[in-house]
Amino acid sequence: MEWAATLILLLAVIISCYLLISSKRKQLHKGRLPPGPTPLPLIGNLLQIKPAETLKSLLKLREKYGPVFTVYFGTRPVLVLCGHQAVKEALIDKAEEFSGRTTMPSMEPSFQGYGVAHSNGTRWKEMRRFSLMVLRSFGMGKKSIEERIQEEAQFLLEEFRKTKESPFDPIFLLSRAFSNVICSIIFGNRFDYEDKEFQALMVMTNTFAWEMSTSWAQFYDIYANYLNYIPGIYSKIYDSMDIKLFIAKRIKKNQETFDPNFPRDYIDCFLAQMEKEKDNPGSEFIMENLVANILSLILGGTETSSSTLRYGFLILIKYTEVQAKVHEEIDRVIGHNRFPNIEDRQQMPYTNAVIHELQRCSDLLPMSVAHMVTHDTEFRGYHIPKGMTVYPVLSTVLHDPTMFKSPNAFNPENFLDENGRFKKNDAFVPFSAGKRNCLGEALARMELFLFFTTILQYFQLKSPVPPEDIDLTPQTSGVVNIPPLYQLCAIPR
pLDDT digits (tens, 9 = 90+) for 176-231: 999 999 999 999 999 999 999 999 999 999 998 888 888 888 888 888 887 877 77
Query: pLDDT at position 355, please?
Result: 98
Q: What's the sign of the alpha-carbon dihedral 458, 462, 468, 471? A: negative
Report strand pairing: 68-73 vs 371-372.
unpaired
Answer yes or no: are the C-beta atoms of 254 and 270 closer than 8 Å.
no
pLDDT at 123 exceeding the cut of 90: yes
- Position 6 confidence tier, pLDDT thresholds 50, 70, 90: very low
Q: What is the pLDDT of residues 326-339, one digit of tens each?
A: 999 999 999 999 99
Chain-centre distance for alpha carbon 164? 33
Sequence letter at residue 389: T
The answer to whether residues 152 and 404 touch, using CB atoms and an 8 Å cutoff, is no
For residue 415, what are the domain limits? 31-492
Is residue 11 situated within a structural domain? no
Amino acid at 109: P
24 occurs within a structural domain = no
Q: How is 406-472 classified by DSSP, letter by letter?
A: STTS--GGGGB-TTS-B---TT--TT--GGGS-TTHHHHHHHHHHHHHHHHHHEEEE-SS-GGG---
Q: Which pLDDT band, with edges at 50, 70 and 90, does 8 fall under?
A: very low
Tell me, yes or no, whether 4 lies in a domain: no
Give the model's pLDDT for residue 250. Answer: 96
Q: Does residue 160 carry a pLDDT above 70? A: yes
Residue 232 has pLDDT above 80, yes or no: no
User: What are the residues whose beta carbons fall under 8 Å from the beta carbon of 264, sequence distance 6 or more?
Assistant: 188, 254
Question: Is 111 part of any domain?
Answer: yes
pLDDT band with cut points at 50, 70 and 90 for residue 27: very low
How far apart, in Å, are the Cα atoms of 129 and each of 60, 208, 321?
38, 26, 44
pLDDT at 45: 93
Say if residues 444 and 292 touch (Cβ distance below 8 Å).
no
Q: Picking from 30-34, 80-84, 148-152, 416-420, which range would have the lowest pLDDT averaged per residue?
A: 30-34
Q: Is the pLDDT of residue 136 over 60?
A: yes
The residue ranking higher by pLDDT, 444 or 12, is 444
Q: pTM for this structure?
A: 0.91
Could you give the 3-state DSSP secondary structure of residue 477?
strand
CB atoms < 10 A from the CB of 472, how many?
A: 14
Per-residue pLDDT of 272-322, as tens digits, reads 999 999 999 999 999 999 999 999 999 999 989 999 999 999 999 999 999
25: in domain? no
Average pLDDT, the chain: 91
Please state, in angstroms and rounded to a whole number, the distance separating the CA atoms of residues 175 and 203: 9
Q: 26 falls in which pLDDT band (50, 70, 90)?
A: very low
Task: Over range 426-443, report the average pLDDT.
Answer: 94
Q: Max Cα separation, the chain?
A: 80
Helix (H, G, I), strand (E, B) or coil at 151: helix
Domain presence at residue 452: yes
pLDDT computed for residue 1 by the predictor: 35
Give the pLDDT score at 51: 74
18 assigned to some structural domain: no
Domain assignment present for residue 12? The answer is: no
Q: For the residues 155-163, what does the mean pLDDT come to? A: 97
The per-residue pLDDT for 83 is 97
User: What pLDDT sits at residue 274?
Assistant: 96
Helix (H) or strand (E) holding 362: helix 349-362
In order, the DSSP letters of 180-204 are: HHHHHHHTSS---TT-HHHHHHHHH
Greater model confidence, 217 or 254? 254
pLDDT of residue 476: 83
Q: Give the count of domains, the chain.
A: 1
pLDDT, mean of residues 346-355: 98
Question: What gap in Å lies between CA 294 and CA 118, rounded to an integer?
Answer: 12
SS3 (DSSP) at 222: helix
Reported as a pLDDT band with limits 50, 70 and 90, residue 238 is confident
Q: What pLDDT does 104 receive?
A: 87
Q: 368, 362, 367, 320: which is closest to 448 by C-alpha?
A: 362
Q: Are strands 382-384 and 476-477 parallel, antiparallel or unpaired?
A: unpaired
The predicted pLDDT at position 362 comes to 95
Please name which of 125, 116, 128 lies closest in space to residue 289, comparing C-alpha atoms: 116
pLDDT of residue 234: 60
Q: How far apart are CA 175 and CA 56, in angstroms?
A: 28
pLDDT(236) > 90: no
pLDDT of residue 219: 85
CATH of the domain at 262: 1.10.630.10
